[in-house]
Amino acid sequence: MTSTTLARRITILSTLGFCVGIAGCGQLDRLANVGQTPKLSAIESPVEKPGYKPVRLPMPEPVAIVHQPNSLWRSGARAFFKDQRASRVGDILTINVKIDDKAEIENSTERTRDNSENAEYPAIAGFEEWLKKILPKKANPAELVSIGSTARSKGGGTIDREEDIETTVAAVVTQVLPNGNMVIEGRQEIRVNFEVREIIVAGIIRPEDIASGNTIESTKIAEARISYGGRGHISDVQQPRLGQQVMDILLPF
């Protein structure tokens, strides 16, 4: 066994051992929670979560605030009276999530092609008799080339998707952009028996789109990120095993 082959086998075994170790740790965590309800996540500041990044977008030039004598209005103000709608970092507002999406797509293609090429050389400047001597005995110089091809392809695809989600989520203002727009993020977890349903909503909103009741529709959220899922016994059963997921990635057929 060469040193290269040995090193390659050691690398493969080390990689497999590492993967098995990771899978084993995950299995141990699951075994430790047998018979227990799924744990809810701790309440924490969204800006302190790993991977949090402030939103940076192109902003217009800021407008300087000028106070006029004997005037109750100031330049740059969005409203005359103070209201209780969310406007600062840490304020809370309610998001009405309503998604009613339906798509139906059907495609069908069919292609057929037949090609045939024949070349005959009954006389090749007197060399046809000489060709008989160098070609196999059954070869006929008069029919040296005959090419034919047939191709046929047929494909069809159908997509039928329907999604319907309607719920409300309270979100927190995590950032106020220079132009007054606000970055929000809301997270809600509901545990029913041994299943936790999780709703996450994030995006950018305009203060003008917030209704008088301090609510906003999900359709008015820019760069919206809405996630609705769950974890627990039912979700765990619906997911394929780790080994099956790995094989689905590695196997080419």
Provide the β-strand partners of residue 99.
Answer: 165
Q: Collapsing DSSP states into helix, strand and coil, what is residue 228?
A: strand
Q: How confident is the model at residue 96 (pLDDT cuts 50, 70, 90)?
A: very high
What average pLDDT score do residues 107-125 get?
A: 67
pLDDT value at 50 more than 70 = yes
Q: Residue 75: phi, psi to the nearest 5?
A: -65, 140
pLDDT value at 221 more than 70 = yes
pLDDT value at 121 more than 60 = no
**Dmax over Cα atoms in the chain, in whole Å?**
117
**Which H/E stretch holds residue 120?**
none
pLDDT value at 171 more than 80 = yes
pLDDT value at 210 more than 80 = yes
Q: What is the pLDDT of residues 8-38, one digit of tens each?
A: 666 665 665 555 554 455 566 666 766 677 7
Q: How far apart are CA 41 and CA 224, in angstroms?
A: 22
Spatial contact of 185 and 210, defined as CB atoms under 8 Å apart: no
Across the chain, mean pLDDT equals 76
Provide the β-strand partners of residue 162.
Answer: 102
Q: Which of 100, 102, 99, 101 is nearest to 218 (CA)?
A: 99
Q: Residue 47: phi, psi to the nearest 5?
A: -75, -15
Per-domain residue ranges for the chain? 46-104+163-250, 106-158
Checking DSSP bridges between strand 195-205 and strand 222-232, what pairing results, if any? antiparallel
Q: What is the pLDDT of residue 229?
A: 83
What average pLDDT score do residues 203-229 get?
A: 92
Spatial contact of 194 and 40, defined as CB atoms under 8 Å apart: no
Q: Where are the alpha helices (DSSP H) in the chain?
A: 3-32, 128-134, 233-238, 242-250
